[in-house]
Amino acid sequence: MQQIEQETLRLWEHAFEPNPGQREKFYLNVAYPYPSGAMHVGHGRTYIAPDVIARFQRMQGRTVLYPMAFHVTGAPVIGISRRIARNDPKAVALYRDLYRVPPDVLAQFTDPLAIVRYFSDEYERVMRACGISIDWRRRFTTVDPPYSRFIEWQWKHLGDEDHVIKGAHPVRYCPACDNPVGDHDLLEGEKAEILQFTLVMFRYHDALIPTATLRPETIYGVTNLWVNPDTIYVRTLVDGMPWIVSREAARKLALQDHTVEITGEVAGQELIDQLVSHPLCGEVPILPARFVEPDMASGIVMSVPAHAPFDYIALRDLQEEGSYAGIAPVPIISVPAYGDVPAKDAVERARIENQDDPRMEALTQEVYSAEFATGRLYERYGGEPVRQARDTVAAMMTAEYGSIPMYEFDTRSVVCRCGGQVFVRILHDQWFLQYSDPAWKSQVIEHLDTMTLVPPEVRAEFERTVDWLKDWACTRKVGLGTRLPWDPAWLIEPLSDSTVYMAYYTIAHHLKTVSPDLLTPEVFDYIFLGKESPSLPDRETLDLMRREFLFWYPYDFRFSAKDLISNHLTFQLFHHVAIFPRSLLPRGMVVFGMGLLNGAKMSSSKGNVFLLEDAIQEFGADTVRMFLVGSAEPWQDFDWRNELVASTRRQIDRFRSTIEELRMATGIPGDIDRWLASRLQGHIERMTGALDRFQTRQALQEAFFGIESDIRWYRRRLPAGSAGSSYLRALSSVWVRLLAPIIPFTCEHLWKSLGEDGLVSYAPWPVPDPSLDDAERELTEDLLARTVEDIESILKIIPLTPSAIIIYTAPAWKREIFVTVAAADNKGTVVKEIMKDTGMRRRGKEVTDTVRQCTTLIHKLPPHIISRLIQGMPDEELLFLNAAGFLEKEFGVTVTVRDAGESTHPKAVLALPFKPALVVE
């Protein structure tokens, strides 16, 4: 197999380099990879599934562009090179042992660009080895000078149209890197959202104790504070005021526009049982609670036991130990579905034993959601619905009682790729893409409406993302990339310089011949927007590029994993609508599921991956392809298991040897060839339909397993000694072409051995030939196959050695009933209808029994067979008489066919249309 693959790769070396022409185009692309490590089988599907579509479209006669480039912007690769430089054991293990980078190359990895060069070559090599039909002439990286000129052009437009603003915002920030961090920069906590808490200020002697809450309206129900007795808190001066907070909180506040000076320590234990003044009135005690995390917000929590299940149960636990009997929950919110004290109600209904119960988190969410949706503050606290009161109370606390905001992640443990903890920082003079702009959002929504999204369910997720997207910190101080044209102290960050590069692909190969200095914004304005300007150089080259861009754009489909919906896939729509005219906006997107390895999520950093190259070595590229696109539809998760992959390889081997046999057959085509030909037209039609809908798994079912099982039946039906007819040669040609998009190496090889010209990659896609349709023949063959199955299952259960089989076919009057029942809209009145006929009426109970049996049978049969049968019942007696020889050969006994209506055998009455009665003697 290896040899076939090598030979085929040579044939393909420049086979997929399309230029504009007369034929219809199809342009598909995927999110380009960040080449900082080796590809694993999870990456494989991301590129292989689009390749199946690319190859399918190409065989349909379209000019297909499938380009690839490498995204190297940002800090990750710098972080990796630093970790390798300081011999970080984890990084070295990953690169030396898992990715098997040769020692001399690894030594060069102290230069970030060496990492990029090594892995982008590696990616190209492995993608080629997978048979992915990419036009490599257009390959580039995002730090190539022409690309930077392109990004400058894009950002000039964004800036001119006020999509970029300067401001102060809370962002995810790594102090070790001194840089804001995006999803791709994170080792842990990729989905972390920044939440805005309100700090409620309690007074303790001369100091303030701030407690952070997302529910300021519950301030009226506070009965106590919680402090962790095992934590050492710090006394600090925050903006000159004395505060008591956790040490972690002090560090966080310093990143959020506060001056922070630590002046001393105070043990949590010391604070227990002390009293603090509630900001509104009265005093409450401080109680001990080990669930309080010093690393969460201020590290001290206010307790609202009537409405917070955690607070309720922590208080109950203490009271069961005999302390704090005087404290009772203070309810302040009424919620329809709950009693007076909602937290108590929820805890008791769920039968929660203590605060360590794992269901507490979900229960808390349930109470919070119910109170937010339907809760209302008691009249004496203002009487507002919770959803309004939250803002009213927060505003009041801020204006009159010293509350301020504090930002914190919604998930614990957010870790940068450099290994450092990530914090929320308020960044000043930062540049933001104004994704919050309602006018920009509505342009995106309007365009989204016109797009084809696969699977359709993702539409709602896109709409939600557009709706909640906030301003995006789009520049960084450190990393690789392009500088912001009007403020070169800043670099454009990775998710923001990778939004319209699908346009760049269309001309990438031409740009390599132009000096980057000539690539002014005016030049790109001409190429992409057709804008004239007096200073344009070399019109001829520019016109060539403009024509090529207009040939390919807009792109037809972008393929990507579903975790990019919430950022990249939506960002690219924002940028397209901001820059390109409506006629050049993206047409469609296909969103993928995730890859699992033996049931667990694949993750390079956790070592749970199987490298794509190893998979190709072990199983062959076609096996890897067929498994990845055939085991699940693209949008479903797939699970790589070596034993299943091995069985895929055996299927391909079987296919290859079958084709080698089929092409040798020379017999005269007979009746059964008509059946085989007719079936094949159906498979062609259904496989084409499946690939039109990107259903690679369904396509494989039709084209591989469907045709294979037909051939098995066909061979069974051949007379003894026959290897089949010359029609099998024609079928082989169709079959090889149908599977070529999925297993192109095998098919390219078989195409040659069939004596066909050229590459199968460019062979015409089979189209169904209606003149070969023979529905009647398919129907009778189906009936015969069902009858054979029935005989086999009878033979399995009877103890005797059979000597004869008698087939009783249903009499004419039962066929009449079958058709009437099958065609009836109202199955309830069908007996009455039939009984209008005097002949039927005379048969009495026999008729009602037959109606019942036919109804059951009709439910079991596939709908396409029913609709065929309504048009005309086959002559079953003739069919079985013709097939008697075949049946005798199959079962080695005499076979007789009789009309059940003329028999007195007790089993004969069981005969139904399309289900003869069978007697084995």
Query: Rounded CA gap, 314 and 323, in Å?
Result: 12
Q: Binding of Zn ion at residue 174 (CB under 5 A)?
A: yes
Residue 282 DSSP class: S
232: left (phi over 0), alpha (psi -120 to 50) or beta: beta
- Residues 6+ positions from 283 with CB-CB distance below 8 Å: 275, 276, 277
Binding segment for Zn ion among 167-175, 188-196, 514-522, 743-751 (CB under 5 A)? 167-175
Q: Binding of Zn ion at residue 416 (CB under 5 A)?
A: yes
Give me the sign of the Cα torsion angle 161, 166, 170, 176: positive
CB 834 within 8 A of CB 776: no
Nearer to Zn ion, 181 or 784 (CB): 181
Question: How near is the Cβ of 177 to Zn ion at its closest, in Å?
Answer: 3
CB 805 within 8 A of CB 893: yes
Binding segment for Zn ion among 30-38, 416-424, 701-709, 819-827 (CB under 5 A)? 416-424
Question: How near is the Cβ of 176 to Zn ion at its closest, in Å?
Answer: 4
| CB atoms inside a 10 Å sphere around CB 844 | 10
Question: How near is the Cβ of 418 to Zn ion at its closest, in Å?
Answer: 3
Classify each residue of 504-528 as buried b or exposed e, where b means 16 or more C-beta atoms within 10 Å of its C-beta: bbbbbbbbeebeeeebbbbbbbbbb
Nearer to Zn ion, 341 or 415 (CB): 415
Site for Zn ion in 330-349 (CB under 5 A): none
Question: How near is the Cβ of 109 to Zn ion at its closest, in Å?
Answer: 18
| CB atoms inside a 10 Å sphere around CB 185 | 25
Question: How near is the Cβ of 479 to Zn ion at its closest, in Å?
Answer: 11
Q: Binding of Zn ion at residue 405 (CB under 5 A)?
A: no
Site for Zn ion in 832-861 (CB under 5 A): none
Token pair for residue 855?
């109804």
Q: HEC profile for 161-185?
A: CCCEEEEEEEEEEECCCCEECCHHH
Question: How near is the Cβ of 295 to Zn ion at its closest, in Å?
Answer: 18
Question: How near is the Cβ of 416 to Zn ion at its closest, in Å?
Answer: 3
Question: How near is the Cβ of 178 to Zn ion at its closest, in Å?
Answer: 8
Binding segment for Zn ion among 12-20, 360-368, 409-417, 851-859 (CB under 5 A)? 409-417
Binding segment for Zn ion among 170-178, 318-326, 342-350, 509-517 (CB under 5 A)? 170-178
Question: How near is the Cβ of 494 to Zn ion at its closest, in Å?
Answer: 14
Instruction: Find, among 241, 245, 275, 246, the residue nearest to 259 by Cα.
Output: 241
Mark 417-456 with x for binding to Zn ion (rule: CB under 5 A) and - for no binding: -x-x------------------------------------
Binding segment for Zn ion among 115-123, 295-303, 415-423, 548-556 (CB under 5 A)? 415-423
At residue 430's C-alpha, the angle toward residues 424 and 433, to 5°, is: 100
CB 83 within 8 A of CB 592: no
Q: How far is CA 435 from CA 331, 448, 828, in A?
A: 40, 15, 59
Binding segment for Zn ion among 369-377, 412-420, 651-659, 743-751 (CB under 5 A)? 412-420
Query: Rounded CA gap, 193 and 408, in Å?
Result: 8
| CB atoms inside a 10 Å sphere around CB 664 | 11
Nearer to Zn ion, 176 or 664 (CB): 176
Question: How near is the Cβ of 170 to Zn ion at its closest, in Å?
Answer: 17
Q: HEC profile for 8-74?
A: HHHHHCCCCCCCCCCCCEEEEEECCCCCCCCCEHHHHHHHHHHHHHHHHHHHCCCEEECCCCECCCE
Residue in this structure with the two tokens 């086999």, named with its chain if needed: 792
Nearer to Zn ion, 82 or 587 (CB): 82
Nearer to Zn ion, 183 or 522 (CB): 183
Number of residues in contact with Zn ion, rule: CB under 5 A?
A: 6
Which of 176, 241, 362, 373 is close enough to bind Zn ion by CB under 5 A?
Answer: 176
Query: Rounded CA gap, 888 and 897, in Å?
Result: 12
Question: How near is the Cβ of 299 to Zn ion at its closest, in Å?
Answer: 24
Nearer to Zn ion, 69 or 418 (CB): 418
Question: How near is the Cβ of 499 to Zn ion at its closest, in Å?
Answer: 24
Nearer to Zn ion, 9 or 478 (CB): 478
Question: How near is the Cβ of 425 to Zn ion at its closest, in Å?
Answer: 12
Query: Rounded CA gap, 638 and 627, in Å?
Result: 9
Nearer to Zn ion, 186 or 300 (CB): 186
Nearer to Zn ion, 174 or 360 (CB): 174
Binding segment for Zn ion among 288-296, 414-422, 702-710, 894-902 (CB under 5 A)? 414-422
Q: Binding of Zn ion at residue 80 (CB under 5 A)?
A: no
Q: How far is CA 431 from CA 162, 174, 408, 481, in A?
A: 12, 17, 21, 15
Token pair for residue 299?
């590290």
Token pair for residue 312?
């309720």
Question: How near is the Cβ of 174 to Zn ion at its closest, in Å?
Answer: 3
Total length of the chain:
921
Binding segment for Zn ion among 168-176, 309-317, 369-377, 723-731 (CB under 5 A)? 168-176
Query: Rounded CA gap, 235 and 245, in Å?
Result: 7
Question: How near is the Cβ of 119 to Zn ion at its closest, in Å?
Answer: 21
- Residues 6+ positions from 667 with CB-CB distance below 8 Å: 722, 723, 724, 725, 726
Nearer to Zn ion, 177 or 542 (CB): 177
Q: Binding of Zn ion at residue 242 (CB under 5 A)?
A: no
Instruction: Find, among 746, 775, 780, 776, the residue nearest to 761 by Cα.
Output: 746
CB 266 within 8 A of CB 235: yes
Question: How near is the Cβ of 532 to Zn ion at its closest, in Å?
Answer: 47
Nearer to Zn ion, 174 or 199 (CB): 174
Nearer to Zn ion, 176 or 460 (CB): 176
Binding segment for Zn ion among 166-174, 454-462, 567-575, 685-693 (CB under 5 A)? 166-174
CB 77 within 8 A of CB 36: yes
Which of 177, 523, 672, 911 is close enough to bind Zn ion by CB under 5 A?
Answer: 177
Question: How near is the Cβ of 79 to Zn ion at its closest, in Å?
Answer: 6
Nearer to Zn ion, 374 or 421 (CB): 421
Nearer to Zn ion, 188 or 776 (CB): 188
Binding segment for Zn ion among 172-180, 203-211, 583-591, 686-694 (CB under 5 A)? 172-180
3-class DSSP state for residue 638? strand
Question: How near is the Cβ of 83 to Zn ion at its closest, in Å?
Answer: 11
Instruction: Find, among 53, 912, 154, 33, the residue nearest to 529 by Cα.
Output: 154
Number of H helices, E strands in the chain: 35, 31
Nearer to Zn ion, 82 or 715 (CB): 82
Nearer to Zn ion, 414 or 700 (CB): 414
Nearer to Zn ion, 172 or 390 (CB): 172
CB 850 within 8 A of CB 912: yes
Mark 361-400 with x for binding to Zn ion (rule: CB under 5 A) and - for no binding: ----------------------------------------
Nearer to Zn ion, 416 or 919 (CB): 416
For Zn ion, the binding residues (CB under 5 A) are 174, 176-177, 416, 418, 420
